[in-house]
Amino acid sequence: MSDHLIAFSMKFYIERQRRPPPPYIEHIQKETLETEGLRKKIKDAVILLENYRGFGPMVGEGIDALNGIDACVAEPTEKRVAEAKSLLENLNREIGPYQSYVPTGALALQELNEWAKTV
């Protein structure tokens, strides 16, 4: 390679490194981080609720609902979002009296409600 071509390549590489990423990439990265954080909270709530599965069928239904919502958060479609909002309404109604017993689940549910408002 000629010296000019090497110098041009290095200059192009250095300039490319200095440029900030396009705004749409930052949006995608931020959205991915938010989604991952929300999914982790859902999984933590499911793990916690697994310990209470023997207390009644309502716990199993809650776990199933959280898993359904997790699928929607991972790959939201119009149909899944509608289903997730319905599942959230039921969870909000059912978990109300038990929030103090499962604060991790209550926190996840609160963040899911915020997510449902933005979707």
Instruction: Quote the mean pLDDT of the chain.
Output: 80
Neighbouring CB atoms inside 10 A of 107's CB total: 14
> Which pLDDT does position 18 carry in this prediction?
62
- Above 60 in pLDDT, residue 81? yes
Question: What's the pTM value of the predicted model, to 2 decimals?
Answer: 0.70
- Above 80 in pLDDT, residue 88? yes
Find, among 56, 110, 118, 119, the residue nearest to 88 by Cα. 110
Spatial distance between the Cα atoms of 91 and 44, rounded to a whole number of angstroms: 16
Choose the weakest-confidence range: 23-27, 36-40, 54-58, 99-103.
Answer: 23-27
Rounded to 5 degrees, what are φ and ψ at 52?
-105, 10
